[in-house]
Amino acid sequence: MQIELESKYHQVFVFYTRRDLEGVRKLYQKYKDTPPIPRNQPPVSGAISWARQLYRRLENPMVLFKANTTILETADAKKHIRNYNKLLRALVDFEILYYRAWCTVIDQAKSGLQATLLVTSPEGQMCVNFDPQIVQLIKEAKGMIRLGLDVPESARVILAKEGEYKKAYSSLANILAKKTKLIENVSPVLRKALAPQVEALEAILQPGLTSLTW
């Protein structure tokens, strides 16, 4: 029975080297520069998640081979083991590269917090001025935590204030929407009469355009 079992394991190992080992190698070579990002994941943590999926696809069967058979001790298996180790190393290096690159751009993304709360659009409309890089930074920090990776303190501080940012953004957007709707619904004649009140409101909002930041 043991001999027959070893024979079955040998067949499975051959299948593993042809489908999984070679398949993962081709996938990695094809997509390593533009990794397919899993749904609803940001680019960096999504790329790391993709690499980890490939890693698990290789590692899990190899663990079973090592624990239940002597197939890995054969001369024929040695070259496949070398390819296996080389590919795992490449996947680990891929993760380290993406993680370190993300850490280096955190301070750059944080500069978005120095932006004013409001900005005037080319059409002359006031808009909430929340830098998309901050939103991306928060998403990436959450993704890194889910992956069990360390998130630098500077990113954790921003993540902890996510609720405050959302609340401030919503409040400002609501104020601007009400202001626009009110002005649009007033007739031209009344609009002139309300000009002092509109100017007073714009004066209140002015610091958001010039001095107040996130």
Task: Assess whether pLDDT exceeds 90 at residue 22.
Answer: yes
57-66: list long-range contacts, CB under 8 Å, 24+ apart: 57/20, 57/24, 58/20, 58/21, 58/24, 58/84, 58/87, 58/88, 58/91, 59/88, 61/12, 61/16, 61/20, 62/16, 65/9, 65/13, 65/16
pLDDT digits (tens, 9 = 90+) for 124-144: 889 999 999 999 999 999 999
Q: Is 116 helix (H, G, I), strand (E, B) or coil?
A: strand
Domain locations in the chain?
Answer: 2-110, 115-210
With 60 as the cut, is the pLDDT of residue 41 above it?
A: yes
- What are 119's strand-pairing partners? 127
Widest distance between CA atoms in the chain: 97
pLDDT of residue 72: 84
pLDDT confidence tier of residue 3, bands split at 50, 70 and 90: low
Least confident of 104-108, 143-147, 160-164: 104-108
Please determine, for residue 26, whether its predicted confidence score (pLDDT) is greater than 90. Answer: yes
User: What digits encode the pLDDT tens for the residues 49-76?
Assistant: 999 999 999 999 999 888 878 888 888 8
Contacts of 207 (CB under 8 A, 6+ apart): none
Contact 82, 52 (CB under 8 A): no
- Residue 194 CA to residue 188 CA, distance in Å, equals 10
Tell me the helices (H) and strands (E) count for the chain, helix number first.
Answer: 9, 2
Instruction: Name the one residue in this structure whose structure tokens are 């590919």.
Output: 87
SS3 92: helix
Q: Percentage of the chain surpassing pLDDT 70?
A: 96
Residue 159 has pLDDT above 90, yes or no: yes
Q: Which residue has the higher pLDDT, 69 or 46?
A: 46
Please provide the average confidence, as pLDDT, over all residues in the chain: 91
What are phi and psi for residue 129, nearest 5 degrees? Answer: -110, 70
pLDDT in the model for residue 4? 61
Q: Is the pLDDT of residue 42 over 90?
A: yes
Nearest to 10 by CA among 88, 18, 168: 18
